[in-house]
């Protein structure tokens, strides 16, 4: 078995069906082996390696399988840095396969041969594991290790940079693997059950870790059975969106009723959530005067962070939830607490729906239930998040969560399509769409059923908002200050992609590539937000004072 055969066989056994990249000399032998196994695994040609990386991310975010991107040496490799750093921040299991031609790397000179890089040095700080493989003997072991690390524990990207001759070299006989899952002993469940016995207002605070551990159904069933309300981080709003026990996402641009509910909790059980919101800020601190926090965190390094009034268990969400689901879990007077939550939601559900939110919600209501929504970065993603809850849909929704990689959505949409084989709705802004517009060629030439909802305010909106708060004028963020957009209708036509101006009907078919443009005034800012120092439920613009005080007292 050659190195390329072993690697390809391993990927197939892990369930990987689609990989993404751009060919180059040193990677060709891997590409030809992928081509030989075409019925089982397909290599797709990207038009910028950055989008190959995002496609791999979108693929794994949707499917839970490992995402794979490959590149040739030199700029092919460095072009992958952004999606790899994004995958690292977001805990996305992406395997990056690159290759090199030189066995020896002389780090004293700038490059040993043209385009040769110290890839491990470049990628070490944004991967779980990065390795340069120069021996056929070590190859199989390193591939197994890479697959286990990328998908194990807190997931994340891994890079293998392979001496090109290993792809065609015979490697020592060994069995390809298909990944392993381990179960740990759980001590958190008992603690949670005991604490709940004396709690009046408990909540689950979930995050993307629920998706990553494939426990969406379990948390939903547990919440409904125990009547414990669930709040989430913004990017986990699609875990159990239509459950009666779900009450939206918290945060400085969060849902008002979610922030209200959090402010009233007396027990916060954080699970699959890294606690990235500003826990120690004046907005959230008052909560811990009344509430205890229990935190299930699979990454031991994260678990070492200090959280106020918090007991942390370095355990996996899946294991804890599995254990809890087998046990009797109850708390004091669920009816009163769920009635309060319901009252808050009802009172505030219609609030904060501005034009972009209502238009996105109309689009969301029109799409098929199996369609995948993929978000870009900027104000558009926040409008999209809000519209999602407002629309009351249950589609899967992907984000660049923590890294905020502008322009990621086209690549991720491509990956999400191949993972789901369902239509994809890509929500993006005018700056993000431009950043990687070359990938429209991929969508157009393969006639993928990807509908792009372009929320076009002709501005770099998020930075413009920040300028508005602090500076005397705008620079490079509005049409008047140096920012610009092309004619998006012509851009779509260039790539054989349909074009329509916004109407809900545009989202009904989703049977081919389509760009739907919704235009807004650049002055529409991101609202509501949380002014520094305000308690988390006291968002801006301020709501009616009487209503606020009534709800705050509940």
> For residue 172, is it left (φ>0), alpha (ψ between -120 and 50) or beta?
beta
Q: How far is the CB of 450 from a copy of itself (least distance, A)?
A: 16
CA neighbor of 403 nearest in space, from 92, 178, 74 = 92
Say how many Å lie between the first and final Cα of the chain, rounded: 68
Q: Is 402 in the site for a copy of itself (CB under 8 A)?
A: yes
What are φ and ψ of residue 99, in 5° steps?
-145, 160
Question: What is the distance between the alpha carbons of residues 406 and 376, in angstroms, rounded to a whole number?
Answer: 6
The nearest distance, CB 302 to a copy of itself, in angstroms, is 6
Residues numbered 231 to 250 that lie near a copy of itself (CB under 8 A) are none
CA distance 268 to 287: 10
The least distance separating a copy of itself from the CB of residue 370, rounded to whole angstroms, comes to 27
Helix (H), strand (E), coil (C) string for 502-534? CCHHHHCCCCCCEEEEEECCCCCCCCCECCCCC
Residues 89-108 binding a copy of itself (CB under 8 A) are 89, 91, 107-108
Q: What angle do CA 375, 377, 383 make, to 5 degrees?
A: 70
Residues between 111 and 140 with contacts to a copy of itself, criterion CB under 8 A: 111, 114-115, 117-118, 121-122, 124-126
**Binding a copy of itself by CB under 8 A: which of 88, 257, 331, 507?**
88
For 330, which DSSP code?
-
Three-class secondary structure assignment of 200-268: CCEEEEECCHHHHCCCHHHHHHHHHHHCCCEEECHHHCCCCCCCCCEEEECCCCCCHHHHHHHHHCCEE
When binding is defined by CB under 8 A, the residue of 64, 74, 308, 334 that contacts a copy of itself is 74
Please list every residue from 327 through 386 that binds a copy of itself, using CB under 8 A. Answer: none
Choose among 177, 176, 147, 160: nearest CA to 30.
160
Rounded-to-integer distance, Cα 494 and Cα 488, Å: 10
* Size, binding site for a copy of itself by CB under 8 A: 82
Q: Interface with a copy of itself includes 41 (CB under 8 A)?
A: no
Q: How far is the CB of 33 from a copy of itself (least distance, A)?
A: 11
Nearer to a copy of itself, 244 or 493 (CB): 493
Exposed / middle / buried, residue 358 (Cβ in 10 Å: 0-12, 13-18, 19+): middle
Neighbours of 392 (CB within 10 A): 12
Question: How big is the chain, counted in residues?
Answer: 554
Of the residues 18, 86, 142, 381, which one makes contact with a copy of itself according to CB under 8 A: 86
Among 197, 468, 476, 532, interactor with a copy of itself by CB under 8 A? 476
- For residue 459, what are the CA distances in angstroms to 21, 409, 456, 462, 478? 31, 18, 8, 9, 5
* Of the residues 104, 173, 335, 471, which one makes contact with a copy of itself according to CB under 8 A: 471
- Comparing CB distances to a copy of itself, the nearer of 89 and 148 is 89
Q: How far is the CB of 91 from a copy of itself (least distance, A)?
A: 8
For a copy of itself, the binding residues in 267-286 under the rule CB under 8 A are: 276
For the window 145-184, what string marks contact with a copy of itself as x by the rule CB under 8 A?
-----------x----------------------------
| Least separation in angstroms between CB 119 and a copy of itself | 9
Which window, 60-68, 301-309, 379-387, 411-419, contacts a copy of itself (CB under 8 A)?
Answer: 301-309
Beta carbon of residue 277, minimum distance to a copy of itself (angstroms, whole number): 11
From the list 15, 286, 486, 531, which residue makes contact with a copy of itself (rule: CB under 8 A)? 486
CB of 323 to a copy of itself, least distance (A): 26
Helix, strand, coil % (nearest 5) of the chain?
Answer: 45, 15, 40
Residue 31 sits in the site that holds a copy of itself (CB under 8 A)? yes
CB of 37 to a copy of itself, least distance (A): 12
Min. distance of Cβ 286 from a copy of itself in angstroms? 22
Touching a copy of itself, residues 487-546 (CB under 8 A): 487, 490-491, 493-496
- Piece of 94-102, 256-264, 360-368, 481-489 that binds a copy of itself (CB under 8 A): 481-489
By CB under 8 A, residue 185 contacts a copy of itself: no
Three-state SS string over 126-180 comes to: HCCEEEEECCHHHHHHHHHHHHHHHHCCCCCCEEEEEEHHHHCCECCCCCCCCCC
Interatomic CA distance for residues 353 and 386, integer angstroms = 8
Question: CA-CA distance, 351 to 7, in Å (whole number)?
Answer: 52
β-pairing, 397-398 with 230-232? unpaired
Q: Does position 28 bind a copy of itself by CB under 8 A?
A: yes
Contacting residue, 6, 47, 295, 337, with a copy of itself by CB under 8 A: 47
């Amino acid at each position: 078995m050659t190195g390329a055969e072993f690697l390809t066989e391993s990927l197939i056994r892990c369930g990987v069906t689609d990989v993404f990249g751009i060919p180059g000399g040193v990677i060709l032998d891997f590409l030809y082996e992928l081509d030989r196994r075409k019925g089982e695994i397909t290599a797709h040609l990207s038009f910028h390696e950055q989008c190959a990386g995002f496609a791999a991310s979108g693929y794994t975010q949707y499917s839970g399988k490992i995402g794979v991107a490959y590149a040739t040496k030199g700029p092919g490799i460095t072009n992958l840095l952004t999606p790899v750093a994004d995958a690292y921040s977001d805990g996305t299991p992406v395997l990056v396969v690159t290759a090199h031609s030189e066995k020896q790397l002389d780090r004293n000179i700038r490059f040993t041969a043209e385009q040769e890089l110290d890839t491990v040095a470049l990628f070490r700080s944004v991967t779980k594991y990065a390795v340069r493989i120069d021996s056929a003997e070590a190859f199989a072991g390193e591939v197994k290790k890479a697959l286990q690390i990328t998908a194990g524990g807190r997931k994340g990207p891994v890079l293998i940079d392979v001496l090109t001759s290993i792809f065609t070299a015979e490697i020592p006989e060994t069995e390809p693997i298909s990944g392993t899952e381990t179960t740990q002993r759980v001590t958190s469940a008992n603690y949670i059950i005991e604490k709940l016995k004396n709690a009046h207002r408990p909540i689950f605070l979930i995050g993307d870790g629920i998706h990553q551990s494939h426990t969406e159904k379990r948390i939903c069933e547990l919440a409904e059975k125990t009547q414990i309300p669930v709040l989430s981080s913004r990017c986990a709003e699609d875990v159990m969106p239509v459950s009666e026990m779900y009450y939206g996402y918290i945060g400085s641009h969060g849902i008002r009723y979610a922030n209200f509910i959090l402010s009233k909790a007396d027990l916060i059980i954080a699970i699959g959530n890294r606690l990235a919101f500003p826990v120690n800020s004046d907005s959230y601190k008052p909560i811990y005067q009344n509430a205890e926090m229990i935190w299930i965190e699979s990454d031991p390094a994260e678990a070492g962070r200090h959280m106020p009034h918090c007991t942390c268990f370095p355990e996996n969400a899946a294991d804890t939830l599995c254990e809890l689901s087998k046990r009797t879990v109850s708390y004091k007077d669920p009816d009163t607490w769920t009635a309060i939550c319901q009252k808050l939601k009802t009172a505030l559900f219609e609030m904060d729906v501005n034009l972009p939110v209502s238009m996105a919600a109309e689009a969301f209501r029109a799409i098929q239930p199996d369609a995948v929504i993929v978000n870009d970065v900027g104000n558009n993603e926040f409008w999209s998040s809000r519209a999602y809850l407002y629309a009351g849909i249950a589609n899967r929704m992907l984000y660049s969560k923590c890294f905020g990689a502008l322009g990621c959505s086209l690549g991720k949409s491509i990956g999400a399509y191949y993972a789901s084989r369902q239509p994809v709705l890509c929500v993006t802004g005018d700056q993000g769409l431009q950043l990687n517009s070359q990938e429209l060629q991929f969508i157009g030439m393969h006639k993928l059923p990807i509908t792009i909802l372009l929320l076009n305010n002709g501005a770099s909106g998020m930075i413009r908002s920040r300028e508005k708060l602090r500076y005397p004028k705008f620079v490079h963020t509005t049409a008047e200050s140096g920012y610009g957009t092309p004619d998006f209708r012509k851009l779509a036509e260039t790539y054989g992609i349909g074009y329509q101006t916004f109407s809900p009907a545009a989202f009904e078919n989703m049977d081919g590539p389509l760009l739907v443009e919704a235009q807004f005034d650049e002055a529409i800012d991101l609202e509501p937000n949380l002014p520094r120092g305000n308690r988390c439920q006291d968002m801006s613009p301020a709501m009616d004072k009487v209503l606020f005080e009534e709800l705050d007292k509940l």
